[in-house]
Amino acid sequence: MVQLHLEWGFPVHIQVLLVLAFTVGWYCIGKFSRFFSERLFVSYRKLSPIAKRDWDIRVASNAHGYFQIILACTLVPAYWNEIFSDPYAFNSRAINVFLAGATGYFIQDLIMMLIYYGTPIFSWSAVCHHVMSIIANGTALLTGYCGVLILSVGIQEWSTPFVNQRWFYDACHMKSGLGYAINGILLWFVFTCVRVPFTYFLYRVIWPTIDDCLTQPTYIISALFGTMSTSILLNLWWSWAVTKGLAKHVLGVGKKPKKDQ
């Protein structure tokens, strides 16, 4: 079994406090969104109460997305050698902050979806993604295993701002504009050229060190391969849905022909 370097991270009680602080912080961002959006956006004031709550939740989602993108794109190059040479045991306080921020966000957002079960805010695919992410990030944070590996997965969050922007365009009745089409193309690019191919990156990291991987505790192996499998299936599903939507909007595939007058 590989030797962990727990002393490189925060103590467990600090990690738990970080998760709680981030959970409250992401929730507060949603609350602040309502205060500012009500005053800045005419379209926001015209939305239904549920749509306003969805808007606020997506503002927090964007904040978390940028948080993960900035940290992942900063730390992954810095820890590039460790990702390939020591993906299971390497740890650091910066990784702890990344994992705590992600875990806190997914806990907060999962609670919001469960509260609004039966509304457009709730999504089974998002529930599966969030549960998977809480297990992966929480396990890596509290045990010290696979932290740098989970960190590299944060690069996939490039899709989040585009997903939310698509919803904002729709809520503001701007689906016919050029911005909506460009956002859709970029969304498709991120899913098909970043998220789906990222599976190969994980393979390149894990397969050469598979012997070390199989020496990890059973719950670590289960969490790692369980979350990877779920991530692959969700990415393929979302990529197909985005491709279908892009083809329908840009190319007119699937549109019903207009009846002759």
Any domain includes 260: no
Burial class (CB in 10 A: 0-12, 13-18, 19+), 54: buried
Q: Please list the alpha-helical segments (H only) found in 79-214.
A: 80-85, 93-115, 124-143, 147-153, 159-171, 178-190, 198-206, 210-213
Exposure letters 167-199 (e unless 16+ CB within 10 A, then b): ebbebbeeeeeeebeebbebbbebbbebbbebe
Contact 209, 88 (CB under 8 A): yes
What the block records as the tokens of 261 is 């007058």
Containing structural domain, residue 126: 6-251
User: What is the three-class DSSP state of 192?
Assistant: helix
% pLDDT > 90, the chain: 31
Contact 239, 191 (CB under 8 A): yes
Any domain includes 188: yes
φ, ψ (nearest 5 deg) of residue 187: -60, -45
Residue 2 has pLDDT above 50, yes or no: no
Q: What is the distance between the alpha carbons of residues 177 and 48, in angstroms, rounded to a whole number?
A: 23
**What is the number of domains present in the chain?**
1
Q: Across residues 77-93, what is the average pLDDT?
A: 85
Any domain includes 256: no
Any domain includes 258: no
| Confidence bin at 129 (pLDDT 50/70/90) | confident
Residue 246 has pLDDT above 50, yes or no: yes
Any domain includes 214: yes
Contact 61, 164 (CB under 8 A): yes
Q: Across residues 71-89, what is the average pLDDT?
A: 86
25 closest CA partner among 100, 93, 105: 105
pTM: 0.84
Residue 7 has pLDDT above 70, yes or no: no
Q: What is the distance between the alpha carbons of residues 245 and 239, in angstroms, rounded to a whole number?
A: 10
88 closest CA partner among 197, 200, 223: 223
Q: What is the distance between the alpha carbons of residues 39 and 200, in angstroms, rounded to a whole number?
A: 45
Q: Across residues 117-134, what is the average pLDDT?
A: 89
Any domain includes 231: yes
**Position with higher pLDDT, 180 vs 3:** 180
Query: pLDDT (tens digit, 9 = 90+) per residue, 209-218?
Result: 777 777 777 7
Chain centroid to Cα 212, Å, comes to: 27
- Which residue bears the tokens 């997305």? 65
**Position with higher pLDDT, 51 vs 218:** 51
Any domain includes 261: no
pLDDT of residue 8: 61
Any domain includes 109: yes
